[in-house]
Structure 1
């Protein structure tokens, strides 16, 4: 891999590790209103991201078409607010491992869906790597008790995880990672407030306690601000297909941090699953390619949608 691809892989990996570690923070927010917590998280993240959005941010936002704004709204609804709601709903009748297993299949879906939407066939190495990542995620988490409702909401969670990557592809180039993260956080905050008012009425928002405040700050500052920007910067460099491979690190990170708070153990299945995820990521991202096999010609790099472009040529509309 060249320097651009390596940086993209490291950024995507860091983002997914941060998300995986956030499940520890989620465990202390069980009594806090869901929509209110999401509103606080995304509103604070938006305020922190706006100063880093760069010059001309307002002009770039005004230049978006109604269709692109609709995509941003769908991205926030499906990949952020909807994803979290689906996971919580699934866990009412299913053990947490069940939605985790379905979400672990996201690399396979993205490896097939993104090329089809782009008018090309799936890359075999990426697809094989995605299958290994999915098997590794299943091995790490195992399977648990569930019913039809739990499975249905787990499928919705899978759709949300896929949507978080796929829906962002057309708007990543004109906005850039920082402004895109700020924009979707603003939209997600508004959507969360609307959900809270409709579902919980006046009780949708309350003052969090000390531990809840720390958890919400972690989610807003570390997981959302740092995690989202790293994720979209990584996706910009290596494409949605390869970036989503690293989502297999989410259950691995969750399994590694669970013993720290006494909510799980790290044993042989977790070690084997972690190794499979690592192997799948290495295969799909190109680390294990043989010398001279499927290697890009010198002077070629990947744009955010997976298509090659000449190195050093600025893509119109992409902030540098």
Structure 2
């Protein structure tokens, strides 16, 4: 097996774990309060990431106050905000609907860059925005057909915005931080941020189910730790534009797993929605690939 094919396999498995977070969050939502579940996730993942840092000799660079502040906001938005909103949204809507909405992350991230950084959108991005919007609208206003809800879908979309802000803030860091060190920081800071509101959360001990606890353990170990290792193992074997294209697999895996594991119905509106989102992400990725090839040719 060639190095490139290995990279494709690792990236595909990484995106499968990302899609599975929707299923895990759906199970968590039925038996654990969102902040408590989020704090537990990070409490389980952080020690493992610290061990990996020690084993690999990864060190945290000296950070300026500016970068420390950005990392704290990143953890609050991208780590805690995303997880909490995802779990809260899945308490109200279907996992299949959530999978479609989460698939818009690459497009939402690009739009945030335009609005905040003033970047000029190209035709490919504008088309991707239209397609992704059509995909979300296909399920957002017909939730009763698939067991979802408008409020739940709105919370999922807010989670996507939080993750988009995480990506934007990452570009504002002045010091380059190794991916493993940054992931460890995100889980550690995320635990502290989530633990405070978790203390004041209404106890749900009487409603805690073994499946919810097992889902948190899975979320912490497989997508958080395993997904990180798979993604960077794959990303170092292929180009950045090729890796970006694999993000389109996340919503597909989420919808398929929702049907297989949770037994959720997949309606025509969801199929249409995921088709639009896939077209948007793949089109955006291919446009980026062509731009990169053009730049290389000019050099």
Q: TM-score normalized by structure 2?
A: 0.73
2:110 match: 111
Aligned to 2:39: 39
In the TM superposition, residue 18 of structure 1 has moved relative to its aligned partner by: 1.7
CA contact (8 A) 1:97 1:141 kept: no
Measure, in 2, the Cα distance between the counterparts of 1:139 and 1:48. Answer: 40
After superposition, what is the alpha-carbon deviation per residue over 1:149-199, rounded to whole angstroms, capped at 9, x for unaligned? 667645532421312322223349611221111110111111111111133
2:282 matched to 1:279? no
CA-to-partner distance for each residue in 1:223-282, whole Å, 9 max, x for gaps? 11133455678889638xx94x76554432221012222431345444444443333333
User: Can you list the C-alpha shifts for 1:206-225, whole angstroms capped at 9, x where unaligned?
Assistant: 9x764344322210111111
| 1:165 equivalent in alignment to 2:167 | yes
Aligned length: 286
Matched-pair contact (CA < 8 Å) for 2:96–2:259: no
RMSD: 4.2
Q: 1:209 to 1:85 in 2, by over 3 A?
A: closer
For structure 2, the 5+ residue unaligned runs are none
CA contact (8 A) 1:86 1:153 kept: yes
Partner SS, residue 295 of structure 2: coil
Q: Which moved more, 1:105-114 or 1:174-183?
A: 105-114
Question: What's the secondary structure of 2:200's corresponding residue?
Answer: helix
Q: Distance in 1 between matches of 2:215 and 2:168?
A: 28
Matched position secondary structure for 2:107? helix
Deviation, 1:78, is 1.0
Distance 1:77 1:93 in 2: 23
Q: Is the 8 A contact 2:31 2:212 kept in 1?
A: no
8 Å Cα contact 1:76-1:188 kept in structure 2: yes
Is the Cα–Cα contact under 8 Å of residues 104 and 248 in structure 1 kept in the other structure?
yes
Query: Which gives a bigger RCO, structure 1 or 2 (Cα 8 Å, sep 6+)?
Result: 2
Task: Give the Cα–Cα distance (whole angstroms) in 2 for the partners of residues 172 and 52 of structure 1.
Answer: 24
**8 Å contact from structure 2 (residues 112, 165) kept in 1:** no
Inter-CA distance 154–216: structure 2 relative to 1 (3 Å threshold): closer
